[in-house]
Amino acid sequence: MRILAIGDIVASDGREFVYNNLGRIRKKYNIDYCIANGENSANTNGITKDIAETLIECGVDVITMGNHTFANKEYSAVLEDMPRVIRPGNYPSETEGMPYYIEELGFAKIAVINMMGRVHMEPLDCPFRATEKILDKIDADIIVIDFHAETTSEKLAYANYFDGKANIIFGTHTHVQTADEHVLPKGTAYITDLGMTGVRDSILGVKKEIIMDMYYTRKHFRFEKAEGEVWFSGCVFDIDEKTGKVNGIERLNFNSID
């Protein structure tokens, strides 16, 4: 089973690249299942129902979210009406939406879980304990977790804690792809961050001048999306659906697809 995980889709340029190219990407890499982080897919934070529906129509099977889950006013309609869009599981239990999605594919049952870190992030419930509660009640052949977190240390601690309890754990949120894809000692495939699908000549998808001024002056400015060439970032995980063994991990980072 080949699973494609797409790094944070940022604004209209990032999502248009996915709309127009995901079909060819799935075909080229023989993808069976696709997961994408969509928390920045609206300009420049959150997601709308139209965006979520279009991403699913073009080939995304599950959309994960993060700290910008509630940034767009349509969040409630998205989370309540679209089970394929999931939000971090350590938000309060009464929060709209579900923290995981399970699908029977015929040859395997896959579960996708979304969780969020707490270091330099919102003061949420413990992601370790929240994940344990979900793992205790779900049944699936393949378990994939998007851990949306800021620091590499928290991501590594989380991944190693759940090594052997999930088949794939990938990090999102920092928008910078890491080169540490590997299989942990107990068999879990891991990468610290998938990267960003958005305008490369930017600072995390935002116009560079805005972010530079913010750090130089310490003032806060309204973010505006960058303009320019879009790069696609993500990772392909090759998993034996019968044994759960990882057969390969391939990072993807490109600006066009044949």
pLDDT digits (tens, 9 = 90+) for 44-59: 689 999 999 999 999 9
Catalytic residues: 68
- Interatomic CA distance for residues 239 and 236, integer angstroms: 10
Half-sphere exposure of 211 (CA within 13 A, CB side): 11
Residue 251's CB: how many other CB atoms inside 10 A? 17
Number of domains the chain contains: 1
pTM above 0.85, yes or no: yes
pLDDT of residue 44: 64
Q: Which run of H or of E encompasses 199? A: strand 196-199
Q: What is the mean pLDDT of residues 132-153?
A: 98
**Using an 8 Å Cβ cutoff, are 55 and 164 in contact?**
no
Half-sphere exposure of 23 (CA within 13 A, CB side): 6
- Interatomic CA distance for residues 249 and 235, integer angstroms: 7
pLDDT of residue 7: 96
What pLDDT band is residue 152 in, cutting at 50, 70 and 90?
very high
C-alpha to C-alpha distances, 73 to 49, 91, 96, 121, 235, nearest whole angstrom: 10, 18, 13, 21, 30
pLDDT in tens, 60-75: 999 999 999 999 999 9
The residue among 87, 103, 91 whose CA lies nearest residue 3 is 103
Rg (CA), the chain: 17
Which CATH number fits the domain that encloses residue 160? 3.60.21.10
For residue 230 the two structure tokens come to 């879009």
Domain ranges, residue 246:
2-254
Strands 168-172, 230-239: parallel, antiparallel or unpaired by DSSP? unpaired
